[in-house]
């Protein structure tokens, strides 16, 4: 019998070890799996490489993971955000590494990684400093830059509903990177607002098919990052 449901965030992240590469879903706070990130802070795994569009805000969620000095490298497109001071402060003193990737190239690298495509060419960034040192090839009269697919050991994502097979549906723009990260990770861990029996989700509306998902934990009333930041909360 297949049942990917677990009881607690602590259980689903327990085997994340030092040096792991982790994709974390979310665009700003929308889709950020804040309870899974906090469980990872409790676990304490260090020297992590984290893939996310941003670097978190305030002193909770991804920003708190960075502030707890568990992240040695960020791969992202936009590391500055309102209320984001943790990453900028560490970056300016050389305490954290940054690989800056254009947002669409980041998304396609993740998609390619999950789809078994090792590399691809894109026109994005041609002629800019982000293409320096990369292979350029001309197709039909236009230059393109070679970019590599991106895979990870784990993905931490948030969804609206899951079933016990790991089929997922999302909520509005909280979907963002999560479906492609689920494809690109060796082990995908989802926190779900609700978990239902197989058959309860309409197969026509499932966004992430269950084979891309390994573990599910129900977080019925997830924290809202902006609310925690407004309240001046810190984690731990």
Partner 1 sequence: MSTQSNSLEKQVGWNREEMAKRAALDIHDGAYVNLGIGIPEKVVQYVPEGREVIYHTENGLLGMGEAPAPGEEDSELINAGKKMVTAIPGAAYFHHADSFAMIRGGHIDICVLGAMQVAENGDLANWSTGAKDAIPAVGGAMDLVAGVKTIYIITQHCTKAGEPKLVESCSYPLTGQKVVKRIYTDLAVIDISTDGFKLIELAPGIDFDTVRDQTGARLIDGRT
Residues at the interface with partner 1 (CB under 8 A): 27-31, 77-82, 87-88, 91-92, 98, 100-108, 110-111, 122-130, 170-180, 207, 224, 226
CB of 2 to partner 1, least distance (A): 24
Secondary structure (3-state) at 234: strand
Kindly tell me which of 9 and 149 has the beta carbon lying closer to partner 1: 149
Q: Which is nearer to partner 1, 92 or 138 (CB)?
A: 92
Q: Which is nearer to partner 1, 16 or 174 (CB)?
A: 174
What is the separation, in whole angstroms, between the first and last Cα of the chain?
Answer: 37
Whichever of 45 and 151 has its CB closer to partner 1, that residue is: 151
Between CA 58 and CA 208 the distance in angstroms is: 30
Distance CA 168, CA 151 (A): 20
Please state the closest distance from residue 1 (CB atom) to partner 1, in A.
Answer: 30
| DSSP 8-state assignment for residue 129 | G
Question: Minimum Å distance from CB 176 to partner 1?
Answer: 5
Residue 7 C-beta: closest distance to partner 1, Å: 25
Q: Would you say 174 and 206 are in contact if contact means Cβ atoms under 8 Å apart?
A: no
**35 alpha-carbon distance from chain centroid:** 13
């Amino acid at each position: 019998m297949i049942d990917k449901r677990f009881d607690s965030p602590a259980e689903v992240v327990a085997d994340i070890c030092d040096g792991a590469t982790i994709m974390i879903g979310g665009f700003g706070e929308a889709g950020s799996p804040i309870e899974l990130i906090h469980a990872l802070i409790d676990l304490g795994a260090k020297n992590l490489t984290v893939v996310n569009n941003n670097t978190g805000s305030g002193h909770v969620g991804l920003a708190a993971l960075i502030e707890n000095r568990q992240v040695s490298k960020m791969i992202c497109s936009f590391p500055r955000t309102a209320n984001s001071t943790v990453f900028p402060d560490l970056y300016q003193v050389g305490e954290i590494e940054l690989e800056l990737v254009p947002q669409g190239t980041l998304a396609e690298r993740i998609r390619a990684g999950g789809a078994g495509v090792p590399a691809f060419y894109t026109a994005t960034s041609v002629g800019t400093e982000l293409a320096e040192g990369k292979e350029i090839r001309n197709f039909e009269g236009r230059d393109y830059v070679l970019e590599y697919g991106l895979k990870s050991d784990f993905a931490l994502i948030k969804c609206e509903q899951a079933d016990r097979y790991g089929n997922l549906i999302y909520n509005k723009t909280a979907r963002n990177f999560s479906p492609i990260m689920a494809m690109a990770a060796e082990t995908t861990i989802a926190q779900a607002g609700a978990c239902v029996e197989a058959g309860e989700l309409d197969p026509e509306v499932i966004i992430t098919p269950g084979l891309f998902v390994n573990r599910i934990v129900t977080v019925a009333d997830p924290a809202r990052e902006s609310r925690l930041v407004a309240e001046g909360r810190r984690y731990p």
